[in-house]
Amino acid sequence: MDNSNDNNLISLANGKVLLSATVTVVDGDNDTATGTVSADLVATSASRMTYRA
């Protein structure tokens, strides 16, 4: 890569940069629920989010 050009772009394929988080909630009698959310930060059309419980 020619570092003298500040306008160089690096292209990444979809799914190469993912942001994800997992959360667990505990209620008063110690029941738990866990969920995961993730976002593809390199999606070509728009950011996509999925949620799995």
| The pTM of the whole model exceeds 0.95 | no
SS3 35: strand
pLDDT at 46: 52
What residue spans define the domains of the chain? 18-52
pLDDT at 5: 60
Tens of pLDDT, residue by residue over 3-44, are 566 565 666 676 678 889 999 999 999 999 999 998 887 765
Angle (nearest 5°) at CA 12 between 3 and 2 = 10
How far apart are alpha carbons 39 and 23 in whole angstroms?
15
**The one-letter amino acid at 35:** G
